[in-house]
Amino acid sequence: MYTSQEQAGRNATASRQTERSAPGSPQSAPADRQGERSDPGSRQGAPAGGRGLHALIRTKDGWAVQHAIVTVTDLTGQQVARAEADAEGVVSTGPLAPGVYTAVATAAGYTPAAMTAIATGSGAAELGTVVLARQGGVDLPPPGIWTLDPAHCTIAATAQHLGLSTVRGRFTQFAGRIEVGTDPETSSVAADIVAASIETGNGTRDDHLRSADFLNAAAYRMISYRSTGLTPAGPDRWIVHGTLTLAGVQRPVDLDLAYLGTGPDPWGGLRAAFRAETELRREDFAMTYNQVVRAGVNLIGSTLKVELDIQAVQGASLP
C-alpha cells in the first residue's frame, strides 16, 4: 500500500514518461530529422512537400523531347536533383532549398543546355520552356518512321529546251519513307517511283520520255533511291548521300535537303515537310539521245534539275 504522497509521486513520473514518448514531443524529433536526412529524394533545408524545379523540354519547332534528363547542382557543384522528362517533355523534381542552382538539360542527339535556376522559399524553381537544338546546329523531325504522302508531294525534273527555255515534268506515282534516328546521322530515306508516271503536259513528249531513248519504262518499271548516309550542312540543312537506280543504271547521287518544320494536320496526324534538289547528267544514266538544231545548240540540255517537295506523315502508313 502507498501513502497518498507516494501515490502522487508515482503518477507524476508516469505522466512525464508518457509525454517523452509522444510522437509530437521534443525527444522524438531527432529521430524524425534523422529519417529525413536519409531520404535520397530530399535535400537538407528544402521545404517538405510541394513542387521543386519544373521545366518543359522542347525541340525548336515545339515538340516534346521525351528522353531528356535535367540535372541540378548547387553552387559547390554537388548534384542535388535529377529527373527525366515524361511523354509530354515535362520535368519535375522535389522541393529545393532556397538558393541559386545550375540546371543542365541533356538528350541523345541534342546539344546540352545549361541555365540558372533560382529556388524560392517554397522550394519551387520555374525554368519555363527549355529548347534543345540538334547536335551540329541542325534539326530533323522527332525520331521514328515517316511515310511520304503522294497527294502532298511533288517530284519534278526540269530540262533545258533549245538552249532557251525549260521543260518541266513530274512523276505522279511514287511511295517512300523516312526513318529519323535518335542520332540524326543514322537516319535513312527510301523511295520508289513508277517511271511511266512521268507527265509534262504533252502526250507525244511523254511517250518519248517513257521510251528506250530516256526512261525505258517498259524494261525498267521503277526508279529507286536508297540513302547511304547523312551529313549536316548547316542549320536545318543536310546532304543526303545515296544511290539512284534509273533505267537500269545505278549511280551515287547526293540530295541537298532542307527541313522545313513539323506540325499537326486536320486529320489528327503529325506531318513533316522537306525540300530537296539535285542535278543529274543524262549521260550518267545512258540517256544520250539528242538532236542538234543548230551549231552548238542541242534540242535537250545535258543535265536535269530534280526538285522534291515532300510532306511525310508520322507512322509506318498513311491515315
* Per-residue H/E/C for 153-212: CEEEEEEEECCCEEEEEEECCEEEEEEECCCHHHCEEEEEEEHHHEECCCHHHHHHHHCC
* pLDDT-above-90 percentage for the chain: 55
| Residue-level pLDDT at 211 | 92
The three three-digit cell numbers of residue 204, written as one number? 507525244
| Residue-level pLDDT at 300 | 64
How far apart CA 187 and CA 143 sit, in angstroms, is 9
Q: In this predicted model, which residue has the larger pLDDT, 257 or 47?
A: 257
| Residue-level pLDDT at 182 | 85
How far apart CA 226 and CA 190 sit, in angstroms, is 5
Amino acid at 270: L
Q: State yes or no: pLDDT of 14 exceeds 50.
A: no
> Using one digit for the tens of pLDDT, what is the confidence trace for 253-310?
999 999 888 888 888 889 999 999 999 988 898 887 665 444 444 456 678 899 999 9
> Using one digit for the tens of pLDDT, what is the confidence trace for 214-237?
899 999 999 999 999 999 887 678
Query: Are 313 and 271 a contacting pair, CB within 8 Å?
Result: yes
> Using one digit for the tens of pLDDT, what is the confidence trace for 136-158?
555 778 899 999 999 999 999 99
Q: State yes or no: pLDDT of 76 exceeds 60.
A: yes
| Residue-level pLDDT at 42 | 43
| Residue-level pLDDT at 149 | 96
The mean of the pLDDT values for the chain is: 82
pLDDT band at 247 (very low <50, low <70, confident <90, very high): very high
Amino acid at 254: D
